[in-house]
Amino acid sequence: MTIENVVVIGAGTMGNGIAHTFAQFGYTVTLVDVSTESLHRGVSTIEKNLDRQVKKAIIEETVKSETLSRITPSVNLENAAVNADLIIEAASENFEIKASLFKLADSVCKPHTIFASNTSSISITSIAAVTSRADKFIGMHFFNPVPLMKLCEIVRGYSTSDETYSIIETLAQKLQKTPVNVQDYPGFISNRILMPMINEAIFCLMEGVASAEDIDTVMKLGMNHPMGPLTLADFIGLDVCLSIMEVLYDGLGDSKYRACPLLRKMVAAGCLGRKSGKGFFTYA
Ligand SMILES: NC(=O)c1ccc[n+]([C@@H]2O[C@H](COP(=O)([O-])OP(=O)(O)OC[C@H]3O[C@@H](n4cnc5c(N)ncnc54)[C@H](O)[C@@H]3O)[C@@H](O)[C@H]2O)c1
């Protein structure tokens, strides 16, 4: 099966990066969002990021214009989905939203259309179960910023077929990503390992083991991490970190995934990291 027409649902942080990447590698993309404001913001972010790629001589000016010409914004999923070979969803991290989008797409798509979700933490198996094509349902977990980050976790739901896996693995390679084969368990690989590390750094801060700066310095200089865990948590958003810890705790049932009380307290206080101007550090 050949994938040519791709529908990306959600024009936010991840959706615009995914649309940019597919279009840059020659796919025809319809970028769908419920909000026209998000669509405008998404397309202008793609333009800015393409400009940056041109300035850094990663792509040529003609690639920029060709990439943009392949992206059509739309607020109508029903129309966009009819001709799609692949639907990749990067809407808000909420099961009900994702389930209703895929149910709608399932009712209008062609039988061969593959469905992929970019969810960070929701079970691929349970979203697939609301559709009539669980064998053609898979996780494509990209990383931010999508045009730059090489990894794509390819998450196999309980019913994902070998054929679907193989098509999506080849597709990720065509996008110049490195695909990693992951079974559908909470947090996949990335967040199952990353979030407990961030959570432990927050426990260290709460218990007064060291200051936020010193915790980050240890992990940067001692472990060669490019960014300390508390800076990274601020970047991801503390509310997102808390909700992923809850997914790990609920899904794996082990007390080692208990969210640090300081993390809960900061989220309750509205200290969400960069996006709120304050988390473990302060942002202008
Ligand atoms: N931000 C990250 O670093 C990151 C990394 C990997 C995966 N993810 C996952 O990607 C997904 C999107 O995350 P994000 O950070 O881009 O979120 P975001 O809030 O930046 O964007 C979400 C977009 O979805 C749109 N949306 C909401 N409901 C919709 C609907 N019914 N139909 C169409 N569009 C709808 C919103 O208008 C918004 O533009 C989530 O599942 C998240 O877990 C995020």
pLDDT of 1 higher than 90: no
Indicate which CATH number applies to the domain containing 88. Answer: 3.40.50.720
What separation in angstroms does the CA of 65 have from each of 158, 215, 236, 251, 275?
A: 40, 44, 31, 45, 31
Asked whether residue 281 is assigned to any structural domain, the reply reads no
From the CA of 142, give the closest atom in ligand 1. 6
User: Are 210 and 137 in a shared domain?
Assistant: no
Please name which of 72, 120, 73 lies closest in space to residue 98, comparing C-alpha atoms: 120
**Same-domain status, 25 and 112:** yes
Q: What is the mean pLDDT of residues 246-271?
A: 97
Q: Is residue 283 part of a domain?
A: no
Residue in this structure with the two tokens 């739309």, named with its chain if needed: 74
Distance from Cα 27 to the centre of ligand 1, integer Å = 21
Q: How many helices (H) and strands (E) are present in the chain, helices listed first? A: 13, 8
In a domain, 252, yes or no: yes
Angstrom distance (rounded) from CA 70 to CA 90? 19
Q: Which atom of ligand 1 is nearest to the CA of 98?
A: 31
Please report the pLDDT score of residue 54 as a whole number. 96
Tell whether 92 and 230 lie within a shared domain.
no
In tens, the pLDDT along 8-24 reads 999 999 999 999 999 99
User: What does the pLDDT read at residue 276?
Assistant: 96
Among 7, 8, 9, 14, which is best to mutate for testing ligand 1, by the most ligand atoms less than 8 A from CB? 14
Domain count, the chain: 2
Does some domain include residue 284?
Answer: no
Strands (E) in 104-221, as ranges, are 114-117, 137-141, 151-156, 178-183
Ligand 1 is surrounded, with C-beta below 6 A, by 9-15, 32-35, 38, 90-93, 97, 101, 118-120, 141, 143-144
Q: Residue with structure tokens 């007390």?
A: 255
Question: 39 and 178 share a domain?
Answer: yes
Domain for residue 13, yes or no? yes
pLDDT averaged over the chain? 97
What's the average model confidence in pLDDT over 207-234? Answer: 98
Please check whether residues 239 and 257 belong to one and the same domain.
yes
Mean pLDDT of 251-276: 97
Residue 129 placed within a domain: yes
pLDDT range class, residue 196, cuts 50, 70, 90: very high
Same domain, residue pair 76 and 214: no
Q: Which residues are catalytic?
A: 120, 141, 153, 191
Picking from 183, 206, 221, the residue at the C-terminal end of a domain is 183
Residues 107, 139: one domain? yes
Instruction: Provide the residue range defining the domain that includes 202.
Output: 191-276
Residue nearest to atom 12 of ligand 1 (CA): 90
